[in-house]
Structure 1
Amino acid sequence: MKVALVGIGKIALDQHVPAIAGSEDWDLACTVSRNGRVEGVQAFTDIHQMLAERPDVTVVSLALPPVPRFVAAQAALSAGRHVMLEKPPGATLAEVQSLQQIAKEAGLSLYTTWHSRMAQAVAPAKAWLADKVVTAARITWREDVRKWHPGQDWVFEPGGMGVFDPGINALSILTEILPGPVHLQSAELEFPSNRQTPIAARLTFSGNVLADFDWRQVGPQTWDIAVETTSGRLDLRMGGNVLEVDGKPVAGENTIMGEYPALYARMAELVRAGRSEVDLAPMIHVADAMTLGRRLTTDAFQF
């Protein structure tokens, strides 16, 4: 199937392009970006022009920042193309629900991707927890925004999500592996004095579940989820790619390179089956944090 990749930034070049290139399901037919390009691939700067000139493209994969994504997704669906959304799937819950309705009425596939759910140890962790009684869980998700979003001021603008850009990855794993749902009870959000979105957050959920997100960690990065049960302790490390049970390695490998190939394989399945997959659970937790969160002001941040 021919796919157009829209938004050629770091994540597109590091993950989407290699995943498409390594798949027998996909052919990267063209790109759409104001500045980015992929060597040897037809490049457009306007999605409407691409849709008009490339009717052979059946799928559009959107790796744009969240705020401009709705317009592009709506245009693609209106032109009869299946759509794949990078996480988070949109800037608001309502706009994603609108896209879901458009796709349903048009008989098209819409896929809200959560790449961290495709980490190697997530499925084994979910299976291990399925029959367990969870007594507590703690997320520690700390990384360096300068490393992962160098100079990208949009992450600190309204709709950019701030520290929830990586934090939502942890929430996507949590909502996948826990045997029952949880809901947010309280939150503290740290906003740099010169920015519009938080750089750190501490969340408290029902079920004795805590989350600690911080975008200021230099050196080794931390992407861990610990779950206590009446039958032992589970630890997911390296963003869900390594599983330990009671301190012993059980499954996984310290690499993230299998996540995006798995997303594209799933999209191929959905298109062939004529189905959509829209899960907003991680995004609902972020929206709740923005609603319930107590705002704290911290030092100004500059890239």
Structure 2
Amino acid sequence: MSTKKELFKYIFSRLALLPIMLWLISSLVFILLRIAPGDPVDAILGTRANEFARESLRIKLGLDKPLISQYLEYLNNLIHGNLGISLNTQEPVKVIISKALPASIELAIFAILIASLVGYLIGFLGVIKPEGKIDFIGRIFGIGTYALPPFWAAMLIQIIFAVLLGWLPIGGRYPPGISVPHSVTGFLLLDSILDKNLEMIFSSFKHLILPSVTLGMLLSGIFSRSLRLNLEEVLKKNYIEAAKSRGISESRILIKHAFPNTLLPILTITGLTVSSLIGGALLIEITFSWPGIALGLQEAINQRDYPVVQGIVVTISSLVVMVSVGIDIAIAYIDPRVSY
């Protein structure tokens, strides 16, 4: 970005697109839910309910109004931060999201840490000795983890470490009957630390290991492949050849000259992966009975709970869009070569 003025214009243009993008996503969700087969009244009362009860519930839920009226009311509620009330539990959607979202974020953070540590280490070691044993194993590992079905990998890990070895719990966020600390941040592990509850710290960490390791290992192949390809491309640049001609050691060239120039694409991939994980770890959350936002979304879809589905999708979309915009702005600020 050549000047601060151009950077400011770019930031302003990106931020101005945020409400438009969110409006399009929200409208698309509204339309798809209305045209999808099934009736929320049937999901709540069942198909054997009499017509009077069905019609009374339809009026109570506002489903008797014209579609355009429902849409305008839906947009008005969104603008005022009102995500509605669950059709099944009569609980505010905000409350449902506030309970489930921290669990998904907690899982996503640990999964990204594992994916980054394993993936970038394998990718880095592969570049140091290309076409060697480590590089070959790293490539097989990257392809294998990317191709594995998440639900199959999750069940296999459960069978090995929870059923056969009995080292870790098979699922859930904490064992039944244990005293859960008062929620301060919503992150169970952090709340347990703040509460100085050693039993809960140990228990919540044990329950977090299997789902986070499973998700992290499945993502690590993307990270290792990304780092390796970007480092290979950078090592072919003229300034790298010039550094070699001056007698600089290969390890110094790799660490001081090549690696810093791969940080921008790595930052992009990491940021987008974090944002997508918040709502994209559905199969992992279902397999491990992890009470996150993805599991809540799946349950709401099955129950035809319009407000909950809309609220969760809008929340996830907002997070993904904001993270994407934040990454674009950070790249434009860090790299002066970037122009828009």
TM range (shorter): under 0.3
CA radius of gyration, larger in: 2
1 or 2, which has the higher strand percentage? Answer: 1
1 or 2, which has the higher helix percentage? Answer: 2
- TM-score, normalised to structure 2, is 0.23
Greater relative contact order (Cα < 8 A, sep 6+): 2
- TM-score, normalised to structure 1, is 0.25
